[in-house]
Amino acid sequence: MMTLVTACGGLDPGDLPPDSTISGTIVFAGGAAAWPPADSIREVRVVVFDTVPRVESDVIASVLRGTALFTDPLPQSVDSAVYSLLITAPPRRFEYIVVAALTGPNVFTDWTMLAVHAPVGRPQEPIAENISVGDQRIINFVVRFDSLPPQPFE
């Protein structure tokens, strides 16, 4: 006679806290035709920073320290794109939430901010967001290639 014994030694998925996310839609004003030449933008991502980067090297330093989070590359030459970003280790505060483009070969310094989470008409005043466990924040952006926001390191 054979006896089968099973055990579950882990957490029940129902015991895990719900994911915290920031997600939304990015609308590219003027649609796909408004995009700059294909070779001028290498990739586009939504990036959240705990503080505003003040020099170009702060961007990659924040990523390496884990104080900045970013999406996978988003589609290009489109009218709009949907994004979702998992927020690790909440609660967290992000003071600078942007759509960023890698515009050159140097991943450490060649970033241009395409849109900033800020009050309408005041892109120089980023809106900070506090993200708690289970928050599912929706933040939408409009990118206007003909009038980019102020760059944090100018």
| Arithmetic mean of pLDDT, 117-135 | 95
- pTM of this prediction? 0.87
- Quick one: CATH architecture of 17-143? Sandwich (2.60)
pLDDT over 60 at 118, yes or no: yes
Greater confidence (18 vs 20) lies with: 20
pLDDT over 80 at 78, yes or no: yes
The ranges assigned to domains in the chain are 17-143
Percent of the chain with pLDDT over 70: 90
| Arithmetic mean of pLDDT, 10-36 | 87
Q: Alpha carbon 13 to chain centroid distance? A: 27
Residue 94 binned pLDDT confidence (cut-offs 50, 70, 90):
very high
- Is 20 in contact with 86 (CB distance < 8 Å)? yes
